[in-house]
Amino acid sequence: MDSQSIATTPEELDRSVLPHAHEHPAFLRHHFEDVGQQREAASFGMWVFLLTEVMFFGGLFCAYLIFRNWYHPAFVAGSNTLDIALGTTNTAVLICSSFTMAMAVYSAEIRRRGQLILFLVLTILLGSVFLGIKAVEYHQKYVEHHIPGPSFSIQDFVHPTNPKAIPLAPDMAEKTQLYFFLYFAMTGMHALHMIIGIALLFIMVARASKGAYTEGHVIPVENFGLYWHFVDIVWIFLFPLLYLISRYR
């Protein structure tokens, strides 16, 4: 109560200037009553940030929803050029990395430094594998001339080699460019979030090795975990929308 009220009497003023009478950990900020309140406030702030991210990715998802309905044949044709094996593998890799991140949060909570570093490094490795597989997929698109822009070719959609594929009229085939634009925008923004996450993970490993998070101050690990799991959730929705729902039968 004292830390929130304004000092009015001389005695109160005096007490507020003096060092705190009670013990508290070094990481507890002075504007918080206790560790629990600080943790609650930090989680709240992180969730509000993640909700702005929901709105950001949500705009892309909404654009995808509208254009997929407008140019359905083009979106089906575009979706079928993606490699479903690589997409499924990447989903599994990302879920594994979410698991190792959850275990890293647990390790910080039970104050095991070595275990925390192990799980953070495993998360870095799995995140890098995801980006590596994504790079292979992007390279395939480059080779096939499926990157939107001057080098984009509608040849594969007007004269498809897949016997199940329905040949598209040139004007509809042009709309596959819109599919690939959204594909690169959505997976690209997702990959950017992964790259930022991996960069933060390197900083966290360096700080964790000095024991920064295993003395009770788990908020940075916990909040980074929230961010990492959010990026996982974005992919959980991207994977069915981009790879699965338009398969040829």
Partner 1 sequence: MTEKTQETHQDAEVHVVKPPIYLAIFLTLLALTALTTGISFIDLGVFNAVIALAIACFKASLVVLFFMHLHYSSRLLKLTVAAGIFTFLLLISLTMTDYISRAWGMF
The site string for partner 1 over 78-117 (x = CB under 8 A, - otherwise) reads ------x---x--xx--xx-xx-xxx--x--xx-------
Of 29-37, 166-174, 187-195, 201-209, the window that binds partner 1 (rule: CB under 8 A) is: 29-37
Task: Tell me which amino acid residue 83 is.
Answer: D
Contacts of residue 229, defined as CB under 8 A and 6 or more positions apart, other chains included, come to: 98, 101, 102
φ, ψ of residue 237 in degrees (nearest 5) = -85, -35
CB-wise, 147 or 246, nearer to partner 1? 246
> Got the DSSP string for 29-42?
-TTSSSHHHHHHHH
H/E run at residue 222: helix 219-239
Binding flag, residue 169, partner 1 (CB under 8 A)? no
CB-wise, 153 or 229, nearer to partner 1? 229
Q: Closest approach of Cβ 203 to partner 1, in Å?
A: 21
Interacting residue with partner 1 among 3, 14, 58, 155 (CB under 8 A): 58
Q: Closest approach of Cβ 214 to partner 1, in Å?
A: 12
Q: Closest approach of Cβ 153 to partner 1, in Å?
A: 25
> Which residues are near partner 1 by CB under 8 A?
24-25, 33-37, 39-40, 43-44, 47-48, 51, 54-55, 58, 61-62, 65-66, 69-70, 72, 84, 88, 91-92, 95-96, 98-99, 101-103, 106, 109-110, 216, 222, 225-226, 229-230, 232-233, 236-237, 239-241, 243-245, 247, 249
